Amino acid sequence: MKQSQNNQTDSWINFPRRILSLLRNGYLKRREYQVYMYLRHNCTPYGIATTSTANLINDVFGGKVDDSYISKLLLSLRSKKLIWYPNRQGVKGSFDVHFGDFIIPTGKITSLDSHFNPDKVRSEADTTTLVRSEVTPEVANDSQKLQEKKNELISRFSLSTQHSQVRSYNTDNDNKKKNDITDTSALKSFNKPENRNLLTKHFTPQNNEEEIV
């Protein structure tokens, strides 16, 4: 009995009221409306219709139009985001047409957003995942440990730099002291009489003042 009820439900197709409103306000052309209604009547319970341009030509327009006219109507419906189907340039045969605003057996209503804006849908999903991961305790603990290690490395580097600066300062003082000692030794050596005489050995005074010096 349950299977019989499911079969009866599957034979019903649901239509959103806004489609008729779009026709009345001129947004949807009459022939576009006819194609839309025909395709929706052929939908599976999941809002997908399998069709071909030949079927549309014969069933909707009685063979009085050609393929290019059908393609034009389909493109117009897709540009208005009322249906979606893959690009068919250079492709012949049957193809699937997807519908939004379709109540499927699970009770959910279909949407065409994933077909027209796949990047936006993917971005929103990634953002949600990122936000959830940021508030998890595991990530917070890992972040705290990483910060502690970073502070420890900075502290070690600072101590090493200060030690290097102290050694450099002491080294400069040591060199200065050595230079001072060397200079004093040279001065004492110069003051010895025998060394001073080296400078005056070949000196001849030119006047009384130079002779006294």
Tens-binned pLDDT, residue by residue, of the chain (213 aa): 444 445 566 678 889 999 999 999 999 999 999 999 999 999 999 999 999 999 999 999 999 999 999 999 999 999 999 999 999 888 889 999 999 999 999 999 999 999 998 776 555 555 555 445 444 455 556 667 777 777 777 777 666 655 555 555 555 555 555 555 555 555 555 555 555 554 455 556 666 555 554
CB-based burial, 6-20: b 16+ in 10 Å, e otherwise = eeeeeeebeebeebe
Whether this prediction's pTM lies above 0.75 is answered by no
Instruction: Write out the two tokens for 130.
Output: 């990122």
Residues 6+ apart with CB under 8 A from 35: 56, 60, 70, 73, 74, 77
Strand partners, 202: none
Read off the amino acid at residue 172: D
In this structure, whether the domain defined by 2-112 belongs to CATH 1.10.10.10 is answered with yes
| Domain ranges (residues) in the chain | 2-112, 137-200
Distance from C-alpha of 61 to C-alpha of 41, rounded to nearest angstrom:
16
| Predicted local distance difference test score (pLDDT) of residue 135 | 47
- In Å, what is the CA distance from 185 to each residue of 153, 170, 200? 48, 23, 21
Instruction: Write out the two tokens for 209.
Output: 């003042």
DSSP-assigned states of every residue in 77-119: HHHTTSEE----TT--S-EEEEESS-B-TTS-B--SHHHH-HH
- Secondary structure class of 185 (helix, strand, coil): helix
Contact 62, 54 (CB under 8 A): no
Closest CA to 61 of 32, 21, 88, 89: 32
| Predicted local distance difference test score (pLDDT) of residue 94 | 95
- In Å, what is the CA distance from 192 to each residue of 68, 181, 185, 187, 200? 120, 17, 11, 9, 13
